[in-house]
Amino acid sequence: MLAAAHESRPDAQAALATLCEAYWYPLYAYVRRCGYGSHDAEDLTQEFFTRLLDKDYLASADRSKGKFRSFLLASLRHFLANERDWARARKRGGGRTVLSFDRGKAETRYRLEPSHELAPEKDFDRQWALTLLGQVLDSLEAEHVAAGTERLFEGLKGFLTQAEGSCPYAEVACRLGMTEGAVKVAVHRLRRRYRRLLRDEIAQTVASPEEVDEEIRHLFRAFRP
């Protein structure tokens, strides 16, 4: 994805914009963790994406460092280091809006985060992982809604996040009007599809298929203390 974003094709730029729409919150949270107030963090995040999508940063990105997550964080650090340039741009009437995200919702979400002492970089990886997993779950739900099996998804989705055995198969089977064996088969299929969608989502953020497993390991390490 990062390599494709260097190209001038409209579809490549549109794909990059879609990724930015999905993954803006980890960057907002990073800026807040760096000590900026909510209003400045909102403006900085928006201005950062403006410059990113204008290819100011893409032109100088190192293609060998193909993880979109790493690229965005490195670019954001560079942007914040030159914050005075951003401030001058605002005085000149800059600050165009290129991404549609709910600014009030961003701060509300940030204030609901646990009051831990994570370094900004560690928190960025954690927020990135949470956002990515949320994207995958939303895609899986959309598939079930389209197939008319939303009730089945609602009944089984807990098996994707809860510890094995925390939600008995028999209890879920009774609730859904299925046999216990049918629930086990359905859960197996749901987990398999979830893993496939997870790999597909990550594949959009790395330069090659070989990096998918490495990125999965990195993201799950983000949840460790």
Amino acid at 122: K
The residue from 113, 146, 176 where one domain ends is 113
- Final residue of a structural domain among 94, 113, 132: 113
Q: Which domain holds residue 40?
A: 1-113
How far apart are the C-alpha atoms of 181 and 112, rounded to whole Å? 39
Residues 186 and 216 grouped into a single domain: yes
Whether residue 150 sits in one domain with residue 107: no
Same domain flag for 2 and 104: yes
Position 148 pLDDT exceeds 70: yes
Structural domain total, the chain: 2
CA-to-CA distance for 25 and 41, rounded, in angstroms? Answer: 11
Question: What pLDDT does 58 receive?
Answer: 57
pLDDT one-digit tens code per residue, 88-111: 555 544 555 556 666 667 788 888
In this prediction the pTM is 0.80
Instruction: Report the range of poorest mean pLDDT among 20-34, 137-151, 154-168.
Output: 154-168
**Residue 105 near residue 46, CB atoms below 8 Å:** no
Q: How far apart are CA 202 and CA 198, in angstroms?
A: 6
Q: What are the pLDDT digits (tens) for 38-83?
A: 888 988 988 888 887 776 555 555 544 558 888 889 889 988 988 7
Please identify, among 113, 136, 160, the residue that sits at the C-terminal boundary of a domain: 113
